[in-house]
Structure 1
Amino acid sequence: MKEHTRRLALKQMLLFTVGSSFLTNGCNPAATKKTTVSRARPLGAVHIPAGTISRAVDGIAAGFPKIRSEHTNGQFCCQEISLKPKYAGPPPHLHKDLDEIMYVLEGSVQVMVGDTVTEVSAGDYHLRPHGIVHTFWNSGTVPARFIDMYPNQDFLSFFESLMRIENDLKEKGLTLLSPEGQDLNNALLKKFGCEIFIDQYPPLLAKYGLKTS
């Protein structure tokens, strides 16, 4: 049962990355766990027109990248995410360093932080602090769309790195669910200071009647 849960969590992470149930964005592919803020280079104006994305230097784009870390000297990056009705977000997890800020554009999102679930509706902001287990989902009947913002960590390159891992594994005839894929995924999680609590996922899906794919 635990192996099945692990595979479910890994599958959902991959779906989240490629945008099957969600639309995600990425940042600088040359990521470290925590980006050092540098003000040696003045910032330039950046315009991301509606419906466009900001790709990594190697052309990778995990979903719909918007403001990237390299646009802000490592101070900030963000992603836009769309979540279908009755669909789960990522497995419950925590970040050792990263605080996340959500701004809902359309619909509403249910956000779990620790033991508290908050309904975050269009126009609302929500802060998910580091060090606390959290996730989100859409238990409503209409799609939700929101911005996730990441200050002082190039976390969105996590998704791009995961795509690169998947591409490399495909060339070997492997998947992210293979032993090698799981090892690479675990190393990536460690690099970005992220810990997943896979055993909490199935009860959450059952309680709120959520889909993952």
Structure 2
Amino acid sequence: MSRLDEMIPSSPGKFKMEKSSYLHRLRFQSYLTKFAFFSFFLLCLISLLFLRSPPSVNPSPSSSSDPSRRSLRTYTYGGPAWEKRIRSSARIRTSTTNGITVLVTGAAGFVGTHVSAALKRRGDGVIGLDNFNDYYDPSLKRARQALLERSSIFIVEGDINDVELLRKLFKIVSFTHVMHLAAQAGVRYAMENPSSYVHSNIAGFVNLLEICKSANPQPAIVWASSSSVYGLNT
């Protein structure tokens, strides 16, 4: 058989070839197919891992869902301008003979806002303190803050567990009274997150009492309860 005859296809689209060469090509194609399949599988696996596990980002304390953690975030306070605002807000109106100087905790809350405004109208010196947590919409507290600022009441943004902040406030102002209204709200939420109540309503309250105990003069403390006056009942 001539070389030309060997090249003539035995059926349409096919050529004759040596058996060994044909088997070798089949094995190569099989290996190539397997390699392509496993490469595709590996790429899919890597893609799924990146899609399901995005780079982790440490959440800021203010975005935490736990109020007890939110209140631990770092607040900015201090400086001449900050102290000037505190002294101005704590100033007793000169026409008031028996004015008092009050630290109102939870001043941006519903009750705290009304108490602060009433004391200021009476001529007393008022300093507010609130951590502006987001247990409920913080915009409500910010609106109350703006309302009190129009009445020359300054709300310090901070936490009652912050010992250094409280010491600084008592160093700047000789408070005669403390109206303690700061607390973790929503009693039912205590079943979901009891630590937030321990942090604020117990630890924070004890911290405030300790600061007041060491202050000179020692202020009278009134807090939100059925019958709760610490110090001078009158």
Q: Which has the larger radius of gyration?
A: 2
Which protein has the bigger strand share? 1
Q: Is TM > 0.5 for Structure 1 vs Structure 2?
A: no
TM-score (norm 2): 0.23
TM-score (norm 1): 0.25
